[in-house]
Structure 1
Amino acid sequence: MPPDACSSPPSEMLLSPPRFPILMLDEAKLTPALGYLFHRKWLDPYESLVSILWKFEKANGLSGSVVAHLMGPDVDPYEGLVPELGAVDIDRLHGALGLPKTTLRDALLAPTERRRFCATFRHCRRCIAHGYHSVVHQVDTVYRCPAHHDMLESACRKCGYGAPYRVNVQLLETPYRCSQCRESYGGHGWRPTEARPMRAGYCRALARKYVGCALGL
């Protein structure tokens, strides 16, 4: 018997090049070749590095491990590090986030003999509800939020856990929540589609306190 005829597949079934770019990951830098999504307008004055990275992580759907490596190629993501000047690779963060280096420096702790910082994550519930945490909240001598005048909190209201102020996977993967019991620190978290600028009066209050702390006042 003659062999069965073999017809060619319809032209629309033939493989064709994709009409969109394929996102390639540069494993050496842990950054996508086409860049990350991040807008400066999402940030408020003197926002901490923790707060910045939470927003960056949520906007791009990244894991805490990938985000932790943006602070330095040799950072152990599970041990993490204290976000202070000299410990974080500002050039690397600048390249990934596209933020000014001055903004990134202002987001880091800068301990001196006259200015000390709390080793436990401290927050204002109303700031957290806005998707904001300031480096000012970590200053040891600041007990109330400069913007809202509420007492700063360092323990989870549900389980009492006080998270160490270290940027690691545990902290990064529980944005705006207790890393032990997942209870909210205030509000329902932050989303890029709901981002709103902070009130001008709050910004001025935080700026005054930041400058005062920098001068040791």
Structure 2
Amino acid sequence: MQPGACSLPPRSDALAPPRFPILTLDERSLTPSMGYVFRRNWLLPCESLVSILWKFERANAVPGHVVALFLGPDVDPYEGVIPQRGNVDVRRLGRTLAVSASTLRGSLLEPSGLARHSNLLRHCRSCIALGYHSVLHQMTGLSRCPAHRRPLETACRRCGYEAPYVANVRLLESPYRCARCGASYGGHGWSPTNPRALKAAYRRAITRIYFERCIGPATLR
């Protein structure tokens, strides 16, 4: 008589570890066996690396310590790295996100470029409400958002905390909100089920300032 469809497996198989755990990671690429979800059309012009990673976390429910490891094999997730060129393994990250290396390079600070950058996270409340943070927001030469003309802020309005602009677990696990008290920086941020775009006029303004401030001899090499 053939065993029924619901018969228990032989004892040797029953004692073996489960073949399909809830999350199986490829240790070399740090990607789950079924792959991640990320769409390039979710990205906006001159979007910062931190903003890109926040969207990736929201879409895949990936913890910050795993995302930090995408930045390079030697990165300490809790210490993190400043999101600038030379600190991030762009090819490794690009394979995981399926995003071009040129897009990722544009999301990073230029350590020897024309612009000078803040060591603190600076944000526009209107941009954050759309789930967007620009690499331009980190430029100390700009005091207002190029798109919305609102003053750029560093301090949490509830507790006054100023977050260092370092891609570490603390910042990555606090998308669009204060890493100390959890208060929102503006609105509810971004959701993969309701991605919102910048108006065309805002996109043009951001792109124009990016070319004026960032494109120069240091970046055209």
Give the TM-score normalised by the residue count of structure 1: 0.89
Do the aligned partners of residues 12 and 60 (structure 1) sit closer, same or farther apart at CA in structure 2, a change above 3 Å counting?
A: same
Identical pairs, percent: 56
Match of 2:58 in 1: 58
Match of 2:139 in 1: 139
Match of 1:74 in 2: 74
Query: Which whole-Å CA distance do the structure 2 matches of 1:8 and 1:29 have between them?
Result: 43
Superposed displacement of residue 112, structure 1: 2.6
2:6 maps to 1:13: yes
CA contact (8 A) 1:29 1:73 kept: no
Query: Which whole-Å CA distance do the structure 2 matches of 1:82 and 1:154 have between them?
Result: 16
Query: Which whole-Å CA distance do the structure 1 matches of 2:193 and 2:84 have between them?
Result: 30
Match of 1:196 in 2: 196
Superposed displacement of residue 31, structure 1: 1.5
Over alpha carbons, which structure has the higher Rg? 1
Superposed displacement of residue 24, structure 1: 3.1
CA contact (8 A) 1:69 1:75 kept: yes
CA deviations on 1:32-90 (whole Å, 9 max, x unpaired) are 23321000111100100000000001101100000000000110000000000001000
Moved over 2 A (4+): 20-24, 111-114
CA contact (8 A) 1:155 1:161 kept: yes
Query: Which whole-Å CA distance do the structure 1 matches of 2:121 and 2:47 have between them?
Result: 14
Do the aligned partners of residues 90 and 13 (structure 1) sit closer, same or farther apart at CA in structure 2, a change above 3 Å counting?
A: same
Equivalent residue pairs, number: 206
SS of residue paired to 2:193: helix
Q: Which amino acid aligns with 2:47?
A: E
Do the aligned partners of residues 142 and 100 (structure 1) sit closer, same or farther apart at CA in structure 2, a change above 3 Å counting?
A: same
CA contact (8 A) 1:41 1:197 kept: no
Query: Which whole-Å CA distance do the structure 2 matches of 1:35 and 1:90 have between them?
Result: 19
Superposed displacement of residue 30, structure 1: 1.8
Give the TM-score normalised by the residue count of structure 2: 0.87
Query: Which whole-Å CA distance do the structure 1 matches of 2:86 and 2:185 have between them?
Result: 29
Do the aligned partners of residues 60 and 209 (structure 1) sit closer, same or farther apart at CA in structure 2, a change above 3 Å counting?
A: same
1:1-217 → structure 2 map (5 Å cutoff): 11-14=4-7, 24-112=24-112, 114-215=114-215
Query: Which whole-Å CA distance do the structure 1 matches of 2:150 and 2:156 have between them?
Result: 16
Q: Which amino acid aligns with 1:13?
A: C
CA contact (8 A) 1:51 1:131 kept: yes
Question: CA-atom RMSD, angstroms?
Answer: 2.1
SS of residue paired to 2:53: helix
CA deviations on 1:122-155 (whole Å, 9 max, x unpaired) are 0000000000000000011011000000000000
Superposed displacement of residue 114, structure 1: 3.6
Q: Unpaired runs of 5+ in structure 2?
A: 10-19, 217-221
SS of residue paired to 1:13: coil
Match of 2:12 in 1: none
Q: Unpaired runs of 5+ in structure 1?
A: 1-6
Query: Which whole-Å CA distance do the structure 1 matches of 2:45 and 2:200 have between them?
Result: 10
